Chains A and B, each alone.
Chain A
Amino acid sequence: MKVLVAVKRVVDYNVKVRVKADNSGVDLANVKMSMNPFCEIAVEEAVRLKEKGVATEIVVVTIGPSTAQEQLRTALALGADRAILVESAEELNSLAVAKLLKAVVDKEQPQLVILGKQAIDSDNNQTGQMLAALSGFAQGTFASKVEVAGDKVNVTREVDGGLQTVALNLPAIVTTDLRLNEPRYASLPNIMKAKKKPLETVTPDALGVSTASTTKTLKVEAPAARSAGIKVKSVAELVEKLKNEAKVI
């Protein structure tokens, strides 16, 4: 079966971001960008499904600026077969992204779509669920285990109290949680080979999708700083401070 994987270019997870002085957003100039960690897990899962003989083709898609081609090439080096870039210079919200992905799903007709559970920049955790709603597919969110069995996929999900397993009819949407797998690294020969794999570029207009939004960001601020703490010398001093100064025990 065909598997579609959506990836996002985001600020690298190790970077401590700074808010711009004019409060218009966070400063992303000259900051290291990477593939969103949950998307790496999504690509890895698709590649493993192909290695097991379950998936026949892996198509990776991203929506973003032309520089997001880097993340598509990374996915191709990891084992995806071809890539689609929906080029959009502006930052889109989850619903617009889900609509664009729906247009790609209609065209590609995948049996399984794998996304990360959330992007570490917007922290929205929405796109997979929205794509499932727009496509009318079942959804297996926060997956820690995915097993395709015939025309169904069994997804074990990380929920607040533990784990839950659901059986979904295919085609279905799966969003990955941290524990699903450990993504591999791209080897140098595979990075070279990835440069020759097909990468198609389309625009939202060509897909006939309006990316209009009902939300706008008024300002972005740094969180309130915590006042500096102190170092205590002994456990006894710690207990004394917690009892008499902080009064929390």
Chain B
Amino acid sequence: MAILVIAEHENGAVAPATLNTVAAAAKIGGDIHVLVAGQGVGAVAQAAANIAGVSKVLVADNAAYAHQLPENVAPLVAQLIQEQGKAYSHVLAPATSNGKNILPRVAALLDVDQISEIISVESADTFKRPIYAGNAIATVQSSAAVKVITVRATGFDAVAAEGGSAAVEAVAAAHDAGKSAFVGEELAKSDRPELTAAKIVVSGGRGMQNGDNFKHLYALADKLGAGVGASRAAVDAGFVPNDMQVGQTGKIVAPQLYIAVGISGAIQHLAGMKDSKVIVAINKDEEAPIFQVADYGLVADLFEAVPELENLL
């Protein structure tokens, strides 16, 4: 019995969510193989081979897999599983936008259900996952021959990126469905820690009033070495780009410290951050629902409290 983990990678490096996914695979138990699909991914494959606990790295290096179009990558994954007969009992991918895009397509090709965003492994066939924006936790059992699962990174501690020495094996298969093409991308540039991996996250909401005022949060974040997030209200109002949204439909974070500034605390926002270790809320409305989940609440005008907080650090 072996587990296939689909690696998330960008700019020639293994993305951190891959390490959390390998950790979930280790909890299930069995040989862990990592698939690196892309174009010019030799360095990624080498990095994947160094991940602790990985026994084999499969590299599918082909122009068809550039940008990981699901029409091409999903048949590759399905073929690897079918080729190996009953060797793979599980296929895991991180619940990133790539993982969520590709894996259900794989599940349907294999004619099995998928279990999305697991937060714990109870046994090799039983998993826990949040439903209803995290307001309920379902324990789900699968009888599928191959269990297809996406992993919520914040549910598992990352394994070490070093210490492994897996064999690297090339996969020749090239699937080019010819149905889709990459046109372009517009990626946000930031020197701050990546939101989903940051130890401290500072988030702003509608209370920030405009995009310019986010400079107060950036200054605070830089002092703390924190990532900066936002509520949907701040994104919809155009204060900051979409990829900063924390919540049910944005990113799920669980940092050591989450500082919510000018965020009321709607159900959909809480879904993305309520597993943070310590939550601080700064809001002038003392009735705001965010105070119900905050460990430390400060009822104050954020435009006075945030600069003061920055000065005291």
| Interface residues in B109-161 (C-beta closer than 8 Å to A) | 109, 111-117, 126, 130-144
How many angstroms between the C-alpha atoms of A130 and B102 in the bound complex? 10
Q: Which residues of A contact B243 (CB under 8 A)?
A: 158-162
Size bracket of the B interface: 35 or more
Q: Which residues of A contact B284 (CB under 8 A)?
A: none
Q: Is the CB of B296 within 8 A of A242?
A: yes
Report which of B109, B133, B178 forms a contact with A123, defined as CB distance below 8 A. Answer: B133
Which chain A positions have C-beta within 8 A of B251? Answer: 160
Bound state CA distance, A237 and B196, in angstroms?
Answer: 28
In the complex, A13 has a CB within 8 A of chain B: yes
Complex Cα gap A172–B180 (Å):
10
The SS class assigned to the A binding surface is mixed
Contacts of B293 on A, CB cut-off 8 Å?
226, 229
Q: Provide the B255-289 mask, 1 if CB < 8 A to any CB of A, else 0.
A: 01100000000011000001001111000001000
Q: Is B29 an interface residue (CB 8 A)?
A: no
Q: Does B210 sit at the interface, judged by CB under 8 A? A: no
Instruction: Please state if B116 and A166 are interface contacts (CB–CB under 8 Å).
Output: no
Given the complex, which residues of A lie within 8 Å of B178, measured CB to CB?
Answer: 169
On whether A221 and B108 interact (CB within 8 A), knowing A120-B132, A246-B257, the answer reads no
| Chain B interface main SS type | mixed
A203, CB-defined interface residue at 8 Å: no
**Chain A: interface size category:** 35 or more
- Per-residue contact bits, chain B 172-187, to A (CB 8 Å; 1 contact, 0 not): 0000011111111111
Contact of A94 with B by CB under 8 A: yes
**Residue in chain B with minimal CB distance to A233:** B298
Residues of A within 8 A of B138 (CB): 217, 219-220
Say yes or no: is A178 at the interface (Cβ < 8 Å to chain B): yes
State in angstroms the CA–CA spacing of A214 and B293 once bound together.
36
Q: In the assembled complex, how far is the CB of residue A117 from the closest CB belonging to chain B, in whole angstroms? A: 7
Q: Which residues of B contact A248 (CB under 8 A)?
A: 200, 256-257, 277-278
25 A-B residue pairs with CB within 8 Å: A11-B132, A13-B267, A19-B135, A95-B112, A121-B132, A123-B116, A126-B116, A129-B70, A129-B104, A154-B183, A159-B185, A161-B10, A163-B185, A165-B183, A166-B180, A166-B182, A214-B144, A217-B140, A220-B136, A222-B137, A229-B291, A229-B295, A231-B296, A232-B298, A238-B298
Q: Which residues of A contact B (CB under 8 A)?
A: 11, 13-14, 16-17, 19, 26, 93-95, 98, 117-118, 120-134, 137-139, 141-142, 144, 154, 157-169, 172, 177-179, 213-223, 226, 229-232, 234-236, 238-239, 241-242, 246, 248-249
